Amino acid sequence: MPTVTPGDKILVSGANGYIAIWVVRRFLEKGYAVRGTVWSADKGKYLEEYFKSYSDKFEIVVVQDITKEGAFDEMLLHTQRLRSTWMLRPWMNSINLP
């Protein structure tokens, strides 16, 4: 698997979740571009405001139905890495993100 470097785009699913917000923030602070998925535009508005200082490196994509065939296909085309926060555990603090 190729190594990702700052500037590469990372997809964080469920970006409005408690842990996900910290993951997004960490990636942005390290210089990565982040594409975050949310279930509704309303949930994305909060994140856009929260990360407005990173507006050139942060984008929101609404995925209303994650069970729909191909729901993530288009957004994965130009993404170097996927970070699915539902798989992370409370011990995440011990993980050194890139």
In order along its 98 residues, the chain shows pLDDT tens digits of: 557 788 888 888 889 988 899 999 999 999 999 988 888 899 899 999 999 999 899 999 887 766 777 766 666 665 555 554 444 444 344 445 55
Are 18 and 87 within 8 A, CB to CB?
A: no
C-alpha distances (whole Å) from 91 to each of 27, 31, 87 are: 18, 24, 11
pTM score above 0.95: no
Q: Give the pairing type, strands 9-13 and 33-38.
A: parallel
Across the chain, where does the E strand assignment appear? 9-13, 33-38, 58-62, 81-84
List Cβ neighbours of 74 (8 Å cut-off, separation of 6 or more). Answer: none
